[in-house]
Chains A and B, each alone.
Chain A
Amino acid sequence: MSFREKTSWISLVLTLIGFGSYFVTLVYGETGGHAGHGYYIGYLIAVVVAITLIFIVSTAIVAAMAPDDANAALDERDRAISHRAAYFSYFLLVVGVLAAMASYHIGHGAFWLMNGLLGAIVLSEITRYIAQIILYRRN
């Protein structure tokens, strides 16, 4: 497994766990009325910081195990895979952004607009990581 594929796996797992926990907490809390919006903003910041730190440490460990792979520049296959994965994820991003804007127009507030946009970004990133992993396996 190449270094790029490993980092795609790390990003996928961290995103699923981190933002998954955020959105589960958000939906559960909002439907039960447990916390104010400030709590979720704090939770989101904690998730982003945790994901960033764990990603840095995990990637450093993976790079230390195969420094030649980690130091290699992106080649034509890496770039082709990256472009194709971005192509797939872009579609989801556009649909998610439009859905978030529609929900705002039908009466949901700015807080849900923000979370809808965040959800669109997260979904498109998850799609991108999955597409990268599949393309690295198949190509």
Chain B
Amino acid sequence: MARLPFQNTIRRLRFDADEMTQAELGARVGVTRQTIAAIEQGKYSPTLETAFRIAHVFGQDLEKVFIWTDSSQGQKTKPG
């Protein structure tokens, strides 16, 4: 299985949010507990909408929840 080019901080954010369970987070963003587990483990790449919903639950920006780690593709550029 190809490794996803990004990591996520969902597990830590859940812990910081009164140890929210995967099932609770799943219910709030409209996916199953298994899907949250797969996202956390980096096995499944969520849709953009679900990624935004997850970030919204924790009151975070998307890039605080999903962090691009693949240095081989796309240099980050400063906005002009």
Contact = CB atoms under 8 A, between A and B. Distances in A.
Given A138-B1, A139-B38, A78 B32 contact: yes
B1 A77 contact: no
A76 B46 contact: yes
Interface in B12-32: 23, 26, 30-32
Nearest to A2: B34
A139 B50 CA distance: 16
Contacts of A69: 32-33
Given A76-B50, A77-B38, A139 B43 contact: yes
A68 B35 CA distance: 14
Interface string A5-38: 0000000000000000000000000000000000
A56 interface: no
A45 interface: no
Contacts of A75: 26, 30-32, 35
A106 interface: no
Interface in B36-76: 38, 43-44, 46-47, 50
A57 interface: no
A38 to B, nearest CB: 46
Given A68-B23, A77-B34, 16 more contacts: A2-B32, A2-B34, A69-B32, A69-B33, A75-B26, A75-B30, A75-B32, A76-B35, A76-B50, A77-B32, A77-B35, A77-B44, A78-B32, A138-B43, A139-B38, A139-B44
